[in-house]
């Protein structure tokens, strides 16, 4: 069903292109509507809400915007620090939103619900919550929201009879959409019953009432009312008949009723507001053919008030206020089988209201007013004439209706406030759940090809024909890459490619996937242990993202640092800073840097950090790291997946080290064991965790990396912002959550990202705005932050969380194996 929907959506857009072209010429603002619907938003608008955990409220057109207006006011009161985004579908809705919704931080057109497009926009904005108004449910958009763990709450929910019948044909598509919504706040018991019939769980459905009862933008003072009457040339009228939101065919009925009124009230006036402004000339022709003089609101605005029998309201967004001047109001769309329009706008002004019997789109509201005799329902044009004349003749009857409509509006206010409270409770419950906490609050701060590609290669399954084509192409390249890897390794094994051997004990430390598995802290722990065993150890790092590009780079000689983090790369610099007695060298060819370390530092043991694929160098022990949380990625080779080489190459490993086992399910650990032993029966398997030791203020970390800092338990319950640019940010965030800190937001930058002064200023400002007590970063991030930040007198503390690798199950066996192999090649040493 999803595929059929996507094909139909794409076909519909293609077929409607000519219509778009015509409307682009005829309608002001339509070009901007198309631009934004295709995902091209003004940057200054998007910057206010994108990646800032905004509340996204989506309303289709003018009617929904009217219902949204009081909601936005209440949301702004309830969440004063949270940006609010409002989206619309129609041009009239966009203009109306900009007129009446002043508390929104940004107003945009909703993107077309096309494969890829809807997801790309949602990922770019990544709101805290998405709130469709009434029945604005879009399959592709909601599917992406579910994947990103963005809660969805339907507000002012309304389901018509027609919608219930139509939705049932959507089958699985409807089930998916309904299943994505976290809470249904419906207008009435009837709407609640309808949504439950469509599959909504009863425990997720609540009735709040209609937010249009709360609208205040239509409030008109006596002075404003008098000014509207003057501007529209209605002064001196002996009563005003106002027909709002009329459809083709209804104007004839209204004109006949007006003619009957004029027989008794010669100075009566008529205001007609056609639902579609494009019909203005058609309505003018009908009025003239009926023998009346006619003018338009826009003409009066240009030339001043004009005395005419009929005024055509041909402007957007004014009807709500203009209803105030009518003495008798007919609400259109109700004498034809359209389903009517909302009667709450004229009711808010206390008007005598007439509607036709086709009110099925507003069944509950109509039933409420009809039960209280607060509106008159007619079945045909004759009854419309009779009731309109009667109301003009009988002022007492008219005043009774006016009083009753005002009473109903007053009694039913409060739906917007209820919705705001429900939203508050929903977010507190959703975000307090450990499974949702960091997912709901994790924000990718930079969207570019790198981050898009990373997201793509991590996915096991994709949606949409375009994504399937793209991943199919990547899969072909991954097969070619796998073949080349096998050929290269075969060449080294059979002596076609030469391998160098160092006169020392060589340990390679690496993985078969890209991304963070904890290689650097493991290399640090391993080097420290070997040093304490009495051997002279060096670390050979390739110097990824280093500015230094020579053959041999000395980051540390075992006594002092010789390079900055920018020159050495973050990983090599961090190793050198943590291991002051261990030389750290960088260079692409480890045989060259290794030989230099032997000759100049007397190296006995060389650890190849991220060296599992450095086949040109012989090694005495291969330690393979496997992330217990993200096991072998999605199972595909680069570039379709994250595997650097086939899983079968596990056979080369001497030791398999499972990292972060405390964050993984037991099933994942068993799967790793089974997979590893399938390709390597003799390999020794060891488990490890990343154990947080302390939090150190950033300035102190630069001075003394081994400083006391703050005990991890002292951060429990504190509200923090997490910031990271590492391969596996989810693991970092999980570590913080396990310590009991409250993550208000987690900002994720691409791996190895260099922070600019402006970015740090934005981070600090956002943390203060959210009420964070501190910012927490990793050591890998600490070396990337400009020194100017440390000395700039920041108002909020920045802490570096220091972690160490702790070997768990298999620790004794691994230590024994390492000691035996070292002693066999190098002899024993007195332990330190």
Domains 225-404 and 505-687 share a fold: yes
CATH homologous superfamily of domain 225-404? Glycogen Phosphorylase B; (3.40.50.2000)
Q: What angle do CA 41, 45, 49 make, to 5 degrees?
A: 105
d(CA 55, CA 126): 10
* Tokens standing for residue 760: 């740090």
637, β-bridge pairs: 643
Residue 514 has pLDDT above 90, yes or no: no
Among 611, 520, 604, which Cα is nearest to 568's?
A: 520
d(CA 425, CA 587): 55
CA dihedral 189, 195, 199, 200 (to 10 degrees): -70
Higher per-residue pLDDT: 35 or 770: 35
pTM: 0.56
Neighbours of 143 (CB within 10 A): 22
86: part of which helix (H) or strand (E)?
A: strand 84-88
**Residues contacting residue 203 through CB under 8 Å, at least 6 positions apart:** none
Domain 505-687 CATH class label: alpha beta
CA dihedral 779, 780, 784, 790 (to 10 degrees): -10
d(CA 694, CA 418): 44
Domain 690-806 listed as CATH 1.10.357? no
d(CA 376, CA 141): 41
Tell me how far apart the 2 most distant CA atoms of the chain are, in Å.
119
Contact 583, 601 (CB under 8 A): yes
In this prediction, residue 335 has a pLDDT band, given cuts at 50, 70 and 90, of very high
Residue 702 has pLDDT above 90, yes or no: no
Q: What is the pLDDT of residue 448?
A: 47
Q: What is the pLDDT of residue 727?
A: 81
388: part of which helix (H) or strand (E)?
A: helix 381-393
Domain 2-215 CATH class label: alpha beta
d(CA 183, CA 305): 49
**Residues contacting residue 343 through CB under 8 Å, at least 6 positions apart:** 331, 353, 355, 362, 365, 366, 369, 375
d(CA 62, CA 260): 32
711: part of which helix (H) or strand (E)?
A: strand 710-711
* Tokens standing for residue 608: 């190849």
Q: What is the pLDDT of residue 777?
A: 95
Higher per-residue pLDDT: 297 or 124: 297
Higher per-residue pLDDT: 108 or 630: 108
d(CA 721, CA 719): 7
Q: How many residues does the chain have?
A: 832
β-strands 584-586, 553-556: how paired? antiparallel
Among 713, 712, 674, which Cα is nearest to 693's?
A: 712
d(CA 205, CA 207): 7
β-strands 129-132, 106-109: how paired? unpaired
Contact 103, 131 (CB under 8 A): no
Q: What is the pLDDT of residue 440?
A: 40
Sort 323 into a burial class: Cβ within 10 Å, 0-12 / 13-18 / 19+.
Answer: buried
Distance of alpha carbon 174 from its chain centroid, rounded?
22
Q: What are phi and psi of 547, to 5 degrees?
A: -80, -20
Q: Please measure the distance between the N-terminal and C-terminal CA atoms of the chain and give it in whole angstroms.
A: 68
d(CA 753, CA 413): 51
Contact 108, 99 (CB under 8 A): no
**Lowest pLDDT segment from 264-268, 456-460, 544-548:** 456-460
Please tell me whether residue 574 adopts helix, strand or coil conformation. helix
d(CA 549, CA 526): 27
Q: Sign (positive/negative) of CA torsion 577, 578, 583, 586?
A: negative
Q: What is the pLDDT of residues 459-498, one digit of tens each?
A: 555 555 666 777 788 889 889 999 999 999 999 988 899 9
Residue 369 has pLDDT above 50, yes or no: yes
Contact 218, 228 (CB under 8 A): no
DSSP codes joined into one string, 15-71: HHHHHHHHHHHHSTTHHHHHHHHTT---HHHHTTTTTTT-EEEE--SHHHHHHHHHH
367: part of which helix (H) or strand (E)?
A: helix 363-371
Residue 576 has pLDDT above 90, yes or no: yes
Q: Is 515 annotated as a binding residue?
A: yes
* Tokens standing for residue 527: 């080097």
Q: What is the pLDDT of residues 198-216, one digit of tens each?
A: 889 999 999 999 998 888 7
Contact 307, 234 (CB under 8 A): no
Contact 446, 454 (CB under 8 A): no
* Tokens standing for residue 124: 């770019």
Residue with tokens 């590609």: 453
227: part of which helix (H) or strand (E)?
A: helix 222-231
d(CA 481, CA 189): 60
Q: Average pLDDT in the 645-655 region? A: 93
Q: Is 712 annotated as a binding residue?
A: no
Q: What are phi and psi of 818, to 5 degrees?
A: -65, -45
Mean pLDDT of the chain: 89
DSSP codes joined into one string, 602-668: --SEEEEET-TT-TTB--SEEEEEEESSSTTTTSPBTTTSSBSS-GGGGGG-SEEEEE-GGGS-HHH
In this prediction, residue 441 has a pLDDT band, given cuts at 50, 70 and 90, of low
Distance of alpha carbon 702 from its chain centroid, rounded?
35
Higher per-residue pLDDT: 671 or 294: 294
d(CA 47, CA 461): 31
β-strands 684-697, 710-711: how paired? antiparallel
Q: What is the pLDDT of residue 111?
A: 94
Q: Average pLDDT in the 74-90 region? A: 93
Among 775, 781, 797, 801, which Cα is nearest to 694's?
A: 801
In this prediction, residue 438 has a pLDDT band, given cuts at 50, 70 and 90, of very low
Q: What is the pLDDT of residue 611?
A: 93
High-pLDDT (> 90) share of the chain, %: 57
14: part of which helix (H) or strand (E)?
A: helix 2-26
Q: Average pLDDT in the 38-59 region? A: 90
Q: Is 244 annotated as a binding residue?
A: no
CA dihedral 84, 89, 90, 91 (to 10 degrees): 50
Contact 268, 237 (CB under 8 A): yes
Please tell me whether residue 149 adopts helix, strand or coil conformation. coil
Q: Is 513 annotated as a binding residue?
A: yes
So which residues are the catalytic ones? 64
Q: What is the pLDDT of residues 102-133, one digit of tens each?
A: 899 999 999 999 878 888 899 889 999 999 99
Domain chopping of the chain, boundaries: 2-215, 225-404, 505-687, 690-806
Q: What is the pLDDT of residue 656?
A: 96
Most confident of 133-142, 186-195, 383-392, 715-724: 383-392
Cis amide bond preceding 639, omega within 30? yes
692: part of which helix (H) or strand (E)?
A: strand 684-697
Q: Is 296 annotated as a binding residue?
A: no
In this prediction, residue 516 has a pLDDT band, given cuts at 50, 70 and 90, of confident
């Amino acid at each position: 069903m999803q595929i059929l929907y996507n094909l139909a959506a794409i076909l519909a857009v293609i077929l409607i292109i000519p219509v778009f072209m015509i409307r682009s010429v005829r309608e002001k603002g339509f070009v901007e509507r198309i631009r934004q619907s295709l995902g091209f938003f003004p940057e200054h608008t998007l910057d206010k809400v994108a990646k800032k955990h905004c509340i996204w409220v989506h309303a289709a057109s003018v009617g929904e915007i009217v219902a949204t207006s009081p909601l936005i006011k209440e949301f702004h009161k309830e969440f004063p620090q949270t940006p609010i985004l409002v989206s619309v579908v129609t041009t009239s809705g966009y203009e109306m939103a900009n007129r009446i919704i002043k508390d929104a931080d940004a107003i945009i057109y909703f993107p077309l619900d096309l494969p890829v497009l809807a997801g790309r926009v949602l990922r770019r904005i990544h709101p805290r919550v998405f709130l469709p108004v009434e029945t604005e449910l879009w399959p592709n958009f909601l599917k992406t929201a579910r994947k990103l763990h963005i809660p969805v709450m339907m507000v002012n929910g309304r389901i018509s009879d027609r919608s219930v019948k139509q939705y049932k044909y959507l089958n699985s598509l409807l089930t998916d959409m309904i299943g994505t919504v976290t809470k249904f706040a419906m207008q009435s018991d009837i709407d609640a019953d309808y949504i439950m019939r469509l599959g909504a769980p009863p425990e997720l459905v609540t009735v709040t009432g209609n937010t249009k009862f709360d609208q205040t933008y239509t409030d008109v003072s006596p002075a404003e009312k008098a000014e509207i009457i003057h501007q529209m040339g209605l002064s001196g009228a002996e009563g005003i008949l106002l027909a709002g939101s009329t459809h083709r065919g209804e104007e004839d009925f209204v004109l006949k009723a007006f003619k009957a009124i004029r027989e008794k009230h010669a100075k009566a006036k008529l205001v007609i507001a056609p639902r579609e402004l494009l019909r203005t000339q058609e309505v003018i022709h009908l009025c003239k053919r009926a023998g009346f003089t006619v003018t338009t609101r826009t003409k009066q605005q240009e030339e001043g008030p004009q005395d005419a029998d009929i005024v055509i309201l041909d402007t957007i967004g004014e009807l709500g206020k203009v209803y105030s001047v009518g003495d008798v109001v007919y609400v259109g769309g109700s004498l034809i089988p359209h389903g009517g329009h909302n009667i709450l706008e004229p009711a808010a002004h206390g008007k005598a209201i007439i509607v036709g019997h086709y009110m099925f789109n507003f069944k509950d509201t109509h039933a409420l007013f009809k039960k209280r005799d607060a509106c008159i329902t007619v079945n045909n044009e004759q009854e419309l004439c009779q009731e309109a004349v009667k109301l003009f003749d009988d002022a007492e009857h008219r005043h009774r209706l006016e009083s009753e409509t005002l009473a109903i509006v007053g009694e039913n206010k409060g739906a917007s406030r209820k919705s705001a409270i429900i939203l508050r409770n929903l977010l507190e419950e959703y975000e307090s759940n450990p499974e949702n906490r960091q997912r709901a609050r994790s924000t990718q701060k930079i969207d570019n090809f790198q981050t898009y590609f990373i997201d793509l290669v991590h996915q096991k399954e994709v949606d949409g024909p375009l994504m399937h084509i793209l991943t199919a192409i990547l899969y072909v390249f991954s097969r070619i890459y796998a073949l080349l890897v096998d050929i290269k390794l075969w060449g080294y094994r059979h002596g076609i490619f030469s391998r160098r051997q160092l006169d020392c004990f060589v340990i390679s430390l690496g993985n078969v996937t890209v991304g963070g598995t904890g290689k650097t802290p493991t290399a640090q722990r391993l080097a420290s242990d070997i040093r304490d065993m009495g051997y002279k150890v060096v670390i050979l790092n390739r110097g990824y993202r280093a500015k230094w590009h020579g053959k041999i780079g000395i980051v540390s000689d075992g006594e002092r640092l010789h390079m900055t983090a920018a020159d050495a790369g973050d990983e090599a610099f961090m190793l050198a800073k943590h291991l002051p007695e261990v030389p750290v060298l960088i260079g692409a060819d480890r045989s060259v840097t290794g030989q230099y370390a032997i000759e100049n530092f007397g190296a006995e043991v060389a650890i190849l950090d991220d060296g599992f694929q450095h086949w040109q160098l012989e090694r005495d022990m291969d330690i393979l790291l496997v992330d217990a949380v993200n096991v072998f990625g999605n199972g595909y080779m680069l570039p379709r997946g994250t595997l650097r080489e086939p899983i079968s190459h596990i056979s080369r490993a001497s030791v398999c080290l499972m990292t972060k086992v405390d964050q993984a399910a037991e099933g994942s650990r068993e799967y790793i064991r089974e997979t590893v032993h399938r390709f390597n029966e003799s390999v020794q398997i060891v488990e490890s965790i990343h154990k947080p030791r302390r939090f150190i203020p950033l300035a102190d970390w630069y001075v003394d990396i081994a400083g006391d800092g703050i005990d991890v338990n002292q951060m429990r319950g504190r509200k923090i912002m997490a910031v990271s640019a590492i391969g596996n940010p989810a693991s970092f965030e999980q570590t913080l959550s396990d310590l009991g800190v409250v993550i208000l937001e987690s900002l994720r930058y691409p791996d190895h990202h260099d922070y600019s002064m402006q970015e740090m200023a934005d981070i600090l400002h956002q943390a203060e705005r959210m009420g964070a007590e501190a910012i927490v970063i990793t050591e890998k991030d600490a070396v990337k932050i400009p020194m100017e930040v440390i000395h700039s007198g920041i108002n909020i503390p920045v802490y570096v969380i220091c972690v160490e690798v702790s070997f768990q199950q298999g620790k004794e066996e691994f230590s024994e194996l390492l000691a035996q192999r070292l002693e066999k090649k190098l002899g024993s040493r007195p332990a330190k």
